[in-house]
Amino acid sequence: MPGPFDSTSTAVSVLDGSLLLPASVVRGRAVAGGDEDALTLAAEAAFPVLAAADRLPDVLVLVTTSPPYDEGGSVQALAELTGLAGDVLALELTSSLRDGLTAVRLAAALAAAGGATVLVCAAHRSRGEKDAGDGAAALLLAADGGVATLRPGPVRAEELRDRWRLAGEAGRDEGDPSFVWDEGLPRVAREWELEGPSLVGPVARTAARAERALGGPGDELAAAVGVIGAAHPLGRLLLGLDRPQVLAAVAGGLGEALHADPGPGAEAVAAHARAVLAAPRSDALPEPIDWTRLTPYASGPRSRRERRQDLRLEGSRCAGCSRLVFPPPVTCPHCGSRELAPELLARSGTVVTEARDHAYPVSRSTGMAVVELDGGGRFYGQVVPSARVAIGDRVRIVPRRLHDGGGAAQYFWKLAPEAVA
Amino acid sequence: MPIAGEVAIVGSATTAFGVHHDRGYLELLAEAAFGAVDDAGLDLGRIGSAWLGTAEPGLTGLVGDSGGAVAEAIGFAPRPVTRVANFCCTGMEAVRAAALDVAAGEHELVLAIGAEKMRDVTSRGSLVARTANLTHPTIAKGRTAPGQFALLANAYMERWGVSRETLARVAVKNHEHATRNPKAHFRSPITVEDVLAAPLVAEPFGTLDCTPTTDGAAAVVLASVAWARANADHYVVIRGFGLAVTQGYYTTFFDETNDFLGFRATREAAAVAYRQAGISDPRAQLDLVECHDCFTVTELVNTEDLGLCGRGEGGALLESGATAFGGDIPVNVSGGLQSCGHPVGATGVRMIAEIGDHVLGRAGERQVEGARLGLAHTLGGPGAVSTVCVVGASDRQ
């Protein structure tokens, strides 16, 4: 009888990966700011992977149980933020935290069938669940040539309501702990006869108990920051990428398992993820953002027209005077030339001047700063809540959800202190 | 003919600046307009046209969004009236348009009126809140007027080693000045400690670093100098008038040539006005200056941009007492925007009327003795628009 990881199943290779955790961890849970959501977290996880990649992926998969939109799609904004927008296959998996592993299976099939390179971005932005943390993981996958090999294993779909949220409902429902133990993830893991598995399920304590019982390594990610939703199995995968792993996720009767084997280079990817996990974080809750006094002017046609400025941080390089100007002008303000070529701004720079504003009608105060960008040009915008910057400070430019003007999520860029890691 | 040296101010009036819960936009406009026409010794029927400066009609149910407000308020139909707007230079823009009207020979006597009714709304509906909502959905979010000028204040203090207390002393000086101006919004003296202890608006500014939100109107009647010489009881002459527009609404703070230490628009507008007026040493030649002290730091950089001192020397000029009432180049003896308030459309007109009153020797308790040449300056939007008007004595004086 074949084992759960049939050697004939389609494997996929990990080219690179990145774990992303927000700036605060409060009582064992990573907590993102009020201006962060699954898309901004996913984008931030993807940036280092894309920066190091020698070619752009053909497929983008967003994996999250907390998508910003219930209808109309969320992944296209991620495609814009990551520079993949256009003729790209963009998919969303939004059912349960099993989906992190399902995305790997999907990537394996697409890589095997058409030679695709697939960027999987998984993220979670909790709605106040007790054991859930916020965070994201990105994986760049292709048929071969990577640092580790992933082999999808058994799958499962059956009626099992251990945690769910009915459409239109705000809160989540959860099954009785003994029911979850008897019928949920622990039972499926036993049936699959997994050896030493890393288990991910909707009720963290139950998953941890089952993992101990089956000789698994223990979930250091959940212990440090909580279960980061559908990103959790991928986060665990990255943290242990330098050793053989068996991962399984079962939630809501949907199950998926994966076997991972390290190759040369896996250590560096795992080390990066472990550095992210070990980086010092604030134990204070992020400053809340009160948007109730802001009813911003919004325009769908404008959002589309200016999407590359808003979501790509794209400026213009003037052919006349070589200056990089943002936002992209119609006519160069320096020399009057109308020969302007699009160019992305650097997402890092140095503060020229700043001011903390108590009059802007959002929250108690809003930091604003002007930044000289590393590649030329300037950016002027908000400092992320909780952070303070001073003249001369080095800063990063990060994607954030600016407001929901006109009933749509408006993403833009804010300034954050330079990363510790 | 040009404006400079050829267009005269033959009448002026300013309403009290303050919170007028008992009077609406049209009533304030009418008081200023009739006051200016009376001051000129004319009947309204003699006035050929009018220009109205109102920056934010959205604060008053759009009542001031066209020249129709003048027809309605003072019974001016069917004569031509045009509303103009150019950020905080809106009032001076109305005067400039009226001066062009006279200079073009289109009308013999032209009225310029600035009016703004800002206190019919709560702070939730204020200019700051409206601007936060109505401006560009991404690149403008997080901006307010005090926040933008605070960027300058922090850069200025860091670059020149100017202290927070020096900024505060701008407010202290201008509040002291306003004790002699019965029409100012604030007329009580304050201390540096008061300024530093005031609630924060945009760091480093507290409320006493900022112009208040104020209702008010002002008007002037313009005619050619030739007409004034023959007909006017009293008049002053526009010696120079510069308007410089350097940027759009959003771009100033993305501009990598912006040093956050001053405003090119002011320097360019002043250069034009000084050339027309034959001014080469403004500190020596001007007797007084009304400048756009919307925030404390703005007065310091204005004195530099207007050439009253070198760059980085605005703090020292203030501390020397030169810009105080009784100093050699008094700045904002009216109390400035700091104490008069800043009903946007009215401000520039008020400033020009103020300079005219000093040159005519009728400025009362705050009269700058022997004033013959003065300057009014406004700065608009993110510092992207500036107007500089030099007003001097007639050859009759």
B235-250: pLDDT as tens digits: 999 999 999 999 988 8
Chain B residues 186-215 within an 8 A CB cutoff of chain A: 199-203
Question: Cis (ω within 30 of 0) for the bond into A385?
Answer: no
Q: Which residue of A has its CA nearest to B134?
A: A297
Q: Does A305 touch chain B (CB under 8 A)?
A: no
Q: Does A360 touch chain B (CB under 8 A)?
A: yes
Which residues make Cβ contacts (< 8 Å) with residue A130, sequence separation at least 6? none
Q: Which residue of B has its CA nearest to A399?
A: B138
Q: What domains, with CATH codes, occur in chain B? A: 7-122+213-224 (3.40.47.10)
Contact list, B135 vs chain A (CB under 8 Å): 297
Q: Which residue of A has its CA nearest to B203?
A: A356
> Can you give the pLDDT at residue B341?
98
Contact list, B139 vs chain A (CB under 8 Å): 309, 327, 380-381, 412
Cβ neighbourhood burial of B41 (10 Å; 0-12, 13-18, 19+): middle
Q: Does A80 touch chain B (CB under 8 A)?
A: no
Contact list, B255 vs chain A (CB under 8 Å): 333, 378
Of residues A409, A64, A54, the one with CA closest to residue A233: A64
Distance between CA atoms of residues B172 and A294, nearest Å: 34
Mutation choice for B interface testing from A368, A383, A400 by most B CBs within 10 A: A368
> Can you give the pLDDT at residue A1?
37
Q: Which residue of B has its CA nearest to A300?
A: B137
Cβ pair A382:B253 closer than 8 A: no
Contact list, A295 vs chain B (CB under 8 Å): 133
Cβ pair B146:A359 closer than 8 A: yes
Distance between CA atoms of residues B52 and A386, nearest Å: 45
Q: Does B133 touch chain A (CB under 8 A)?
A: yes
What sign has the CA pseudo-torsion B202, B206, B209, B214? positive
The nearest CA of chain A is from the CA of B256 a distance in Å of 6
Contact list, B126 vs chain A (CB under 8 Å): none
Cβ pair A378, B139 in contact under 8 A: no
Contact list, A302 vs chain B (CB under 8 Å): 137
Chain B residues 270-309 within an 8 A CB cutoff of chain A: none
Distance between CA atoms of residues B155 and B161, nearest Å: 10
Estimate the crossing angle of helix B296-305 against helix B264-277, to 10 degrees: 50
> Can you give the pLDDT at residue A203?
87
Candidate from B124, B137, B143 with C-beta closest to A298: B137
Mutation choice for B interface testing from A316, A330, A360, A388 by most B CBs within 10 A: A360
Q: Does B254 touch chain A (CB under 8 A)?
A: yes
pLDDT by 10s per residue, chain B, length 397: 999 999 999 999 999 999 999 999 999 999 999 999 999 999 999 999 999 999 999 898 899 999 999 999 999 999 999 999 999 999 999 999 999 999 999 999 999 999 999 999 987 778 888 889 999 999 999 999 999 999 999 999 999 999 999 999 999 999 999 999 999 999 999 999 999 999 999 999 999 999 999 999 999 999 999 999 999 999 999 999 999 999 988 899 999 999 999 999 999 999 999 999 999 999 999 999 999 999 999 999 999 999 999 999 999 999 999 999 999 999 999 999 999 999 999 999 999 999 999 999 999 999 999 999 999 999 999 999 999 999 999 987 7
Of residues A295, A371, A237, the one with CA closest to residue A246: A237
Q: Which residue of B has its CA nearest to A371?
A: B254
B309 is catalytic: no
> Can you give the pLDDT at residue A170?
78
Number of A–B residue contacts, CB under 8 Å: 128
Cβ pair A354:B154 closer than 8 A: yes
Three-state SS sequence of chain A: CCCCCCCCCCCEEEEEEEEECCCEEECCEEECCCCCCHHHHHHHHHHHHHHHCCCCCCEEEEECCCCCCCCCCCHHHHHHHCCCCCCCEEEEECCCCCHHHHHHHHHHHHHHHHCCCEEEEEEECCCCCCCECCEEEEEEEECCCCCEEEEEEEEEECCCCCEECCCCCCCCEECCHHHHHHHCHHHHHHHCCCCCCEEECCCHHHHHHHHHHCCCCCCHHHHHHCECHHHHHHHHHHHCCCCCEEEEEEECCEEEEEEEEECCCHHHHHHHHHHHHHCCCECCCCCCCCCCCCCCCCCHHHHHHCHHHHHHCEEEEECCCCCEECCCCCCCCCCCCCCEEEEECCCEEEEEEEEEECCCCCCCCEEEEEEEECCCCEEEEEECCCCCCCCCCEEEEEEEEEECHHHCCEEEEEEEECCCC
Which amino acid is residue A301, in one-letter code?
Answer: P
Cβ pair B129:A410 closer than 8 A: no
Low-confidence ranges of chain A (pLDDT < 70): 1-3, 6-8, 420-421
What sign has the CA pseudo-torsion B246, B250, B251, B254? positive
What sign has the CA pseudo-torsion B32, B34, B38, B40? positive
Three-state SS sequence of chain B: CCCCCCEEEEEEEECCCECCCCCCHHHHHHHHHHHHHHHCCCCHHHCCEEEEECCCHHHHCCCCCCCHHHHHHHCCCCCCEEEECECECHHHHHHHHHHHHHHCCCCCEEEEEEEECCCCCCHHHCHHHHHHHHCCCCCCCCCCHHHHHHHHHHHHHHHHCCCHHHHHHHHHHHHHHHCCCCCCCCCCCCCHHHHHHCCEEECCEEHHHECCCCEEEEEEEEEEHHHHHHHCCCCEEEEEEEEEECCCCCCHHHCCCCCCCCCHHHHHHHHHHHHHHCCCCHHHHCCEEECCCCEHHHHHHHHHHCCCCCCCCHHHHHHCCCCCCCCCCCECCCCHHHHHCCCHHHHHHHHHHHHHHHHCCCCHHHCCCCCCEEEEEEEECCCCEEEEEEEEECCCC
Mutation choice for B interface testing from A305, A326, A358 by most B CBs within 10 A: A358
Catalytic site residue from B107, B234, B342, B377: B342
Distance between CA atoms of residues B273 and B123, nearest Å: 37
Q: What domains, with CATH codes, occur in chain A? A: 12-278 (3.40.47.10), 300-417 (no CATH)
> Can you give the pLDDT at residue A7?
64
Cβ pair A350, A385 in contact under 8 A: no
> Can you give the pLDDT at residue B266?
98
Model ipTM value: 0.95
Candidate from A359, A370, A405 with C-beta closest to B253: A370
Contact list, A356 vs chain B (CB under 8 Å): 150, 202-203
Candidate from B155, B199, B257 with C-beta closest to A353: B155
Q: Which residue of B has its CA nearest to A324?
A: B256
Contact list, B152 vs chain A (CB under 8 Å): 353
Contact list, B143 vs chain A (CB under 8 Å): 360, 368
> Can you give the pLDDT at residue A2?
43
B389 is catalytic: no
Q: Does A353 touch chain B (CB under 8 A)?
A: yes
Q: Tokens 């969004």 belong to which residue?
A: B65
Catalytic site residue from B88, B89, B294, B309: B88
User: A39 vs A125, A135, A212, B115, CA distance in Å?
Assistant: 9, 11, 33, 47
The nearest CA of chain B is from the CA of A210 a distance in Å of 48
Candidate from B142, B255, B260 with C-beta closest to A353: B260
Q: Does B253 touch chain A (CB under 8 A)?
A: yes
Cβ pair B155:A352 closer than 8 A: yes
The nearest CA of chain A is from the CA of B5 a distance in Å of 34
Cβ pair B142:A412 closer than 8 A: no
Contact list, A306 vs chain B (CB under 8 Å): 138
Contact list, A299 vs chain B (CB under 8 Å): 137
> Can you give the pLDDT at residue A196?
96
